[in-house]
A = this chain, B = another copy of it.
Amino acid sequence: MMRIDVSKAAQLLKEQDKIIIICHESPDGDTVGSGFSLGRALKKMGKKVKILCSDPFPKSLLFITENFENDEFENGYVVAVDVADNKLFGSKLEEYKEKTNLCIDHHQSNTEYAQNLLLRADAAAAAEVVYDVIKALGADISGDIAQGIYTALATDTGCFMFSNTSAHTHRLAAELIEAGVDFAAVNQRMFETKTPGRVAMEKMVYNDLEYYFDGQCAVICITQEMLAKADARTDELEGLASLPRQIEGVKVGITMKQQEDLESFKVSVRTTDEADASDICRLLGGGGHAKAAGCRVYGDVKQAKEQILEAVQSCLK
Contact = CB atoms under 8 A, between A and B. Distances in A.
Contact of A192 (B160, B171, B174, B246): B246
Interface in A190-204: 191-196, 199, 202-203
A291 to B, nearest CB: 11
Interface of A: 158-163, 165-168, 170-171, 173-175, 177-178, 183-184, 187, 191-196, 199, 202-203, 206-207, 209, 215, 242, 246-249
B162 A160 contact: no
A242 B194 CA distance: 11
A248 B162 CA distance: 26
Contacts of A168: 174
Contacts of A247: 193-196, 199
B174 A170 contact: yes
Contacts of A184: 161-163, 165
A161 B191 contact: yes
A182 to B, nearest CB: 9
A183 B169 CA distance: 13
7 contacts: A165-B184, A167-B177, A171-B171, A192-B242, A194-B248, A199-B206, A202-B206
Contacts of A248: 193-196
A184 B215 CA distance: 24
A174 B171 CA distance: 7
Nearest to A162: B184
A175 B171 CA distance: 9
A161 B153 CA distance: 12
Contacts of A178: 167
A160 B235 CA distance: 24
A296 to B, nearest CB: 26
A281 to B, nearest CB: 21
Contacts of A209: 199, 203
B170 A177 contact: yes
Given A192-B242, A196-B247, 20 more contacts: A160-B160, A161-B184, A161-B191, A162-B184, A162-B187, A163-B183, A167-B173, A167-B177, A167-B178, A170-B173, A171-B171, A171-B174, A174-B174, A195-B248, A196-B215, A196-B248, A199-B206, A199-B247, A202-B202, A207-B207
